[in-house]
Amino acid sequence: MKNQRVLILDFGGQYNQLIARRVREWNVYCEVAPYTIPIAEIQKRDPIGIIFTGGPNSVTEKGAPSVDPALLELGIPVLGLCYGCQLMAKLCGGEVGSAPVKEFGKTLAQFDRSSPLFRDLPQEGAVWMSHNDYIRRLPEGFRSVAQTADCPVAAMENPERRLFGMQYHPEVNHTENGLQMLRGFLFDVCGARGDWTMGSYASQAIEEVRQKVGGGKVLLALSGGVDSSVCAALLSQAIGEQLTCIFVDTGLMRKDEGDEVERAFKTMPIRFVRVSAADHFLGKLGGVTDPELKRRIIGEEFIRVFEQEAKKIGAVDYLAQGTIYPDVIESGAGDAATIKSHHNVGGLPDTIGFKAIIEPLRLLFKDEVRTLGTELGLPDYLVWRQPFPGPGLAVRVLGEITEEKLAILREADAIFREEVAKAGLERSIGQYFAVLTDMRSVGVMGDGRTYDYTLALRAVNTTDFMTADWVRLPYEVLDRTSIRIVNEVGRINRIVYDVTSKPPATIEWE
C-alpha cells in the first residue's frame, strides 16, 4: 500500500475495533494485529505509529499479555490505552499496582495542555475510565500529563522516546474531545498526512479481489442488506460476470422483504438468483430456543444451501460474504470475549465446499460501508436501508420460532417502521425494529380476559454499531404505534419500549 499506516496491537479489549474506526475518521489507514506479532513483521509493515489497546487482564498477573520491550526501542511512536498504558509503564521500569480507588465510567480529569495529546483542548474534561490497577510509580523519563481526583497518572508521556499513554479510553464517545486527543498523537506525534479514503480503499479492495480470484467464479451470499449490497457492487466492479449473487429467502425476512430485494437487484447488471428455503430453515430451527444455537444452525444451513446452488451453477471457487468489523469482534476475534456468534463468522461450519471465503468489507464499520456504497455508485435506497441481522427474525423472535410468531412479528414490525417513516425520523435513527418476546401477560380486550404476547420496540442511534444509545422517540410516535399494533395485529396485548444502551445491552435482543 502507498498509504501511511498505523498498527493497532490487540490485547483483547471489547472497544479495540473502535480505536481503528476513530483513527480512520482522520483518514489515516490502520490495521489491527494480535499483540503476539513479531517485531520483524512490525518493521516490515513500516507503521508511522503503534497503538496498544485495552484488555481485560492485569499487567501484574503471571502470564499477562505482553510484548518484547525492544518494540519500544524501535523509534516508532507508541500510544498505550488503558491496559496498554499500564503495560508500557511496566515495560519501561515503572510500577503498576491495585488502585486504592477503582474508576469506572465518566471521570473528571485535568490536562497538561503543553502535551501534544491535549494541545488547544480545554484544561478540564470528562474521560471514560475502566480500571482496577493504576500506575503507582512513573518510569524514568516519563511525566504525568493528566490526573483525576483518584488517579495521579491519567495520562503520561516521554516525548524524547515518543512514548505516550492514556489510562482512559479516548475512543469512546463518553470521553470529551477523545477524537481530538487521538488526532494529537496521529498528526503531531506520528506525522500523519491523512491520505486514506474510501475511494482508495475501494481501488485496493477491487484489485485484491481480482488477484485472488483470477479466472475463478464467486458466489455471494446476498441478503439485500447494506453490507451484502455494497459487497455485491464492489465484487461486480472487480470480476463482473464471474460473480453470481444468491439471495436465500429463509422465511425469516421482514414483511415483503424478499420481493423488495429481488426487485432491487433484478434491475442491476448482476446475475441474481433467489432461492426459497423457508421450509428448510424453519424445519432445522424447530424446537430450538437457545440464541447461540439458532445462530449456528442458520450459519451452517446458509453454507449448505450455497453449496447446493454452487453445484447447479457449475464449478464455483469462492464464497463471498458482507462480513464487517463488528461481526468479527463480537464473535470473539483474537483474545476478545465472544458476545454473540454472527452467522457469517462464529456460526460458520468447520468444513465448507469452497477454496476460500472472500470478505472485502471485513475491516470496515457500518458507516464506512455506507460511504463505500456511495463511492461505488449504489442508490441511496440501498445504501441507507435499515440494517437487518443475518439470522433475520430468528433473533427477534425470542424462544422457539414458529410460523405464527413470525407472522405476528412481521406485521407489528412493519407498523412500527411505517410510523417512524411517517414522522420523518427514518434517517435520524440508526436502527429501529420490533422484538416478539416469549413472555405472555394478562390483558383485557372487548371486556374479556386475554393472555397474549408482549412486544418490545427498540430504536438506537449509533455510528459504529459497537456502542449505541437508545433513541428518545416522541411519545406521539410510540402511542400511534402501540394503538395500531394492538388493534391490527392479533395475539399482542402489551407493548414495551427498550431504554437500554449498548453496552450493557447489545442492539439485538439475541
Q: How many CA atoms lie within 13 A of 262 on its CB side?
A: 11
Task: Report the distance separating Cα 504 and Cα 113, nearest Å.
Answer: 33
| 33 contacts 21 by C-beta, under 8 angstroms | no
> Exposed/middle/buried for 240, CB within 10 Å: 0-12, 13-18, 19+?
exposed
Q: What is d(CA 88, CA 78) in angstroms, rounded to the nearest whole number?
A: 9
Are the C-beta atoms of residues 330 and 368 closer than 8 Å to each other?
no
Residue bearing cell 513500516: 46
Cα angle 78-83-88, degrees, rounded to a multiple of 5: 40
Coil, strand, or helix at residue 435? strand
Task: Indicate the pairing of strand 448-461 with strand 431-445.
Answer: antiparallel
Q: Rounded distance, CA 372 to CA 284, Å?
A: 36
State the catalytic residues: 82, 169, 171
CA distances 445 to 348, 491, 495, Å, are 45, 11, 14
- Beta strand 318-320 pairing with 271-276: unpaired
d(CA 29, CA 5): 5
Closest to 298 measured CA to CA, from 367, 239, 366, 344: 344
Compute how many other C-beta atoms are within 10 angstroms of the C-beta atom of residue 407: 14
Give the span between the Cα atoms of 82 and 169, in whole angstroms: 7
